[in-house]
Amino acid sequence: MSENPAFTILYDGDCPLCRREVEMMSRLDDGRGRLGRVDIASPDFDPARYGRSIETLMARIHGVLPDGRVVEGVEVFRLAYAAVGRGWMLAWTRWPGLRLVADAGYRWFARNRLRLTGRAHACDDDRCQPVPATGSGAASGSGAASGAGSGEADRSPSRLHDPAAERPSESARSASR
C-alpha cells in the first residue's frame, strides 16, 4: 500500500459488511495504493491521531484526505470509490434531491448497523457508544487532522451533526437506569 494514498478510509473491521466493502474496494484498487485503510476496531488504533473520539468514529464512517481533512458519511464512499477509479458508481449521490436521500439513507444505516450486522451487543463494553450532542450542532473537528480548509470535504451535508445517530444504544440506556 502507498504511503500517500489518494484517500484513506477509517472503517470498523469488526463489522462484517464494512470489512467486506473495504476488501472489495481494495481489490478494485488493484495494488495501486490509491486507497488507504485503517481498522478503527484494532486494539492499537489511536483515534486522537484523527482528532476524533472512538465513539464518534464508530457512530459513522470517516475518511481522510491527503491534506489531513476528515470527511464522514456518504462523502467517504464517494471519495473512496473515486480513489479506486469507480467514482461513477456513486455519482448519482451528488445529484440534487438524490444526495439528500443517499445521505439520509446512510444516517439510518449508521444508526442501525450493529443490529443489522448481528452485533447489537457489540458496544456493551462502552467502547463504541456514540457521543452526546453538544454545541452548535455542526460537526466539528479538533486537532490537525480535521483541518479548516474549504472544499467539498468541509461542505458535505454528510458532515452535518445528526443527533439521532448519537443516541446511546438500548444496552447503554438500560445500564444507566
Instruction: Spell out the per-residue pLDDT of the chain, length 177, in tens.
Output: 457 899 999 999 988 889 999 999 999 999 999 999 999 999 999 999 999 999 999 999 999 999 999 999 999 999 999 999 999 999 999 999 999 999 999 999 998 888 887 776 655 555 454 433 333 333 333 333 333 333 333 333 333 333 333 334 444 434 444
Enter the pTM of the model. 0.67
Q: For residues 150 and 129, what is the distance between their CA atoms, to the nearest angstrom?
A: 30
Q: Which domain holds residue 118?
A: 7-175
End-to-end CA distance of the chain: 47
Does some domain include residue 1? no
CA dihedral of residues 74, 77, 80, 85 (deg, nearest 10) = -120
* Residue 47 maps to a domain: yes
The total of structural domains in the chain comes to 1
Task: Report if residue 2 sits inside a domain.
Answer: no
